[in-house]
Homo-oligomer: A and B are copies of this chain.
Amino acid sequence: MSQSDQFNQIERYEALMDVVRNRLTNRAFDANYEVPKEHYELIIEAARHGPSGANAQPWHYIVITQPDMKQKLADSFVTEQTKRAKMGMKFPTPNYRGMATAPGLVLVAADFRFIKAFPVFNDDSELDKHYKVNAERILLQSVAASVMSAHLAAAALGYAVWWVTAIGQEEIQEQFKPLIGLPEELSVIDIMCFGPPKKESYKRWRRELPEIMNYDTFNMDNFWTDEMIDEWIKTKRHRVMYRDANNID
């Protein structure tokens, strides 16, 4: 292959983008569908190749197959949702009941102890604390890169996906760690749901390319003031979270 062909594999790129563009979120699934066991393996095989700080791979995937466990998870998220609403949180929480309908449900556990394997001093000095803030960011980004690969794999197979980042973590963790035998040292930071969607999925709003892309200097046209963010939260957030991109205005 010539150099220009070797680094211009457009067909390969398009095959990837067919998955990237069509990784569609859904929050209710066909509960009667059974995920073939090999699909779990195919999906977590993708996660296995994720890049990570110090190549530590600080992740574990726990496939939940038991319907009563899924129901319990959904229930605890609904409880959290109710609690928040009572306390006056204005966030337009999704309907977590859909978690119980997910034929595929995988808990993602992070091992935060690997922070000590990253660029830190491990001597509890002020400087160490400074580096540990960065190190925790490295760990979270590492796990997310792995989870993203899993989501793309599920989407490639044809499934709708739902990436749940844990809420009210401590309470939910205390409840669930014993049920799945997860040691204290590990933390469930994401839940991945997938399966055939109950109703057809649709594409949600994305910023246009020029809004996020800049050459050499940041284009101030792309900057949102605090007021713009507040306005977006008030008038757009619930639409871009739940509606078809063609129907947000």
Contacts and interface: CB of A to CB of B under 8 A. Distances in A.
A78 interface: no
A8 B145 contact: no
Contacts of A17: 45-46, 153
A1 to B, nearest CB: 9
A180 B218 contact: yes
B16 A156 contact: yes
A195 B6 CA distance: 11
Contacts of A91: 54, 118-120
Contacts of A181: 217-218, 220
A169 interface: yes
B48 A206 contact: yes
A141 B121 contact: no
A78 B17 CA distance: 35
Interface residues of A, number: 120
A218 B222 CA distance: 45
**Most chain-B Cβ atoms within 10 A of its Cβ — which of A3, A15, A41?**
A15
A73 interface: no
A8 B206 contact: no
A97 interface: no
A18 interface: yes
Interface string A33-51: 1001001111011111111
B114 A229 contact: yes
A91 B118 CA distance: 7
A158 B206 contact: no
A166 B130 CA distance: 13
A86 interface: no
A132 B163 CA distance: 19
Given A140-B140, A145-B148, 13 more contacts: A9-B158, A16-B152, A20-B149, A23-B51, A51-B163, A53-B165, A63-B213, A89-B131, A111-B224, A113-B229, A117-B233, A134-B167, A144-B144
